[in-house]
Structure 1
Amino acid sequence: MVHGSKKIRGKQVNKVIDQEQNDEILYGRQVVLTILEEKKPINKVFIQKGLSGDKIQTILELVKQRQLVFQEVPKAKLDDLSQGQNHQGVVVTVPPVAYQSLEDCFALAEAKGQEPFFLILDGIEDPHNLGSIIRSADALGVHGIIIPKRRAASLTGIVAKTSTGALEHIPVVRVTNLGQVVDQLKTKGVWIFATDMAGQDIRSWNSQGPIAVIIGNEGQGVSKKLLDHADQTITIPMVGHVQSLNASVAASIIMYEVASKRIPMP
């Protein structure tokens, strides 16, 4: 097995894969349960010996219903498969994650009868941040997340675990050039907003209509090239001594600002 960060010809690769089958490793009870309920492709299920509880029993029942290959193994085996992450006693191997397309994102918005709302992540490197953003995006009505192929976190087991199953419900698009995608979105009538310290206060921001919001890298923020591509910049007002926020926290605040204008009152 190959786990986590690995050096390949001097490059850092953040993936957990099976060398023989090129499978991805996903883990965590809710993640596995969601995959089983959604009837997603699964190659093999590993469950820790001696585990019990309602959720474990439900997982076992679904595994047997689908006639999947499963194996009861010691905790040490699951620790190895998940690279020491909190697997909660359940690990599955699945075919490599299938990224989706911009068309899938627009289709999701259309199916919900809503104006498109996308996130563009400019080089988010921490898989935990990516997973958290996906989780919040699903909760707050985002129709798609766009990430770059290079110098950014990809969809791995850690991302899936952190998203607590949300990854199964929101399209993630992986592209070579974010600038080209921004231009493509503009031709489809989508307004592009980028986060920047000098931007407009989000409290007075008009977020109605089809929009995409660019969230910057944890350390450097949104690149100048993408800032130049944006129609407008926005910022979160802060009054504390620390004038910055974790990328996933900042993204969640911005998503909620949009959702507060779109989610109907009960």
Structure 2
Amino acid sequence: MARRLALITGASAGIGAASARIYASHGYDVALTARRADRLEGLAAEIKLRSGVEAYALPADLADPAGVDAVLAGIAEQGRVVDALVNNAGYGLPGTFATTSWADQATFLQVMLTSVCEMTHKVLPGMVERRFGRIVNVASLAGLVPGAAGHTLYAATKGFLVKFSQSLHLENLATGVHVSALCPGFTYSEFHDVNGTRDQVSQGVPEWMWLGADEVAAAGYEAAEANRPICVPGAPNKALAAIAKVVPDDWALALMASQGSRFRKV
């Protein structure tokens, strides 16, 4: 039987690249998409050599409304279909809502929400028809705790992905399609370098709160296989998520007000 294919967005670094390696190690061919073609081609070559599977580099910008169709067209040109989808592409947009441009916020929503929903909507029917599918939406611990000042839409979009994943999970209990929201906390990757908060988080976040991208990606893979709708990797993050459910909202919001500036540019 032909190998299944996993599509990973935001695959050029961090959790995305780690997810590609994880799926390849479990015998999946992988389709890799992100903006940086050189990174994708290097990762594809590494995966082919290391895991002996096929790896397709499909550069695309999901900020472009045509980006999803471009990626799926590239997969179709190879005569392939998507059996597993890791919606990982994303970034942070520093600043407050009033001091950032709407153009930047609209682009953020396109990448973080619209492209995720569109990609999922376009691959899900085929998964249902074939009675097999795995979908991992990379959300965040930020989607499970109160919002903070700065990066205004980040927690909101991640909270959306959690609810989106829960609904998809319930809708597909009898279809063979497993859906999980992966909700990592602080993860060693390029995320904070890109948005300019590396110094802040390095100084403000203790080492025991950090996880490696490989650990997070492995947890996401295992959650999807087990069909767990929410996965929070790491004991400290699990504890924080549990506490957020029981602490009164005004207490939690006050804590975010006092601590949020350690982690975000406002």
Please state which band the TM-score falls in when normalised by the shorter chain: 0.3 to 0.5
Greater strand proportion: 1
Q: TM-score normalised to the size of structure 1?
A: 0.33
What is the TM-score with the length of structure 2 in the denominator? 0.33
Identify, as 1 or 2, the structure richer in helix: 2
Determine which structure has more spread, i.e. the larger CA radius of gyration.
1
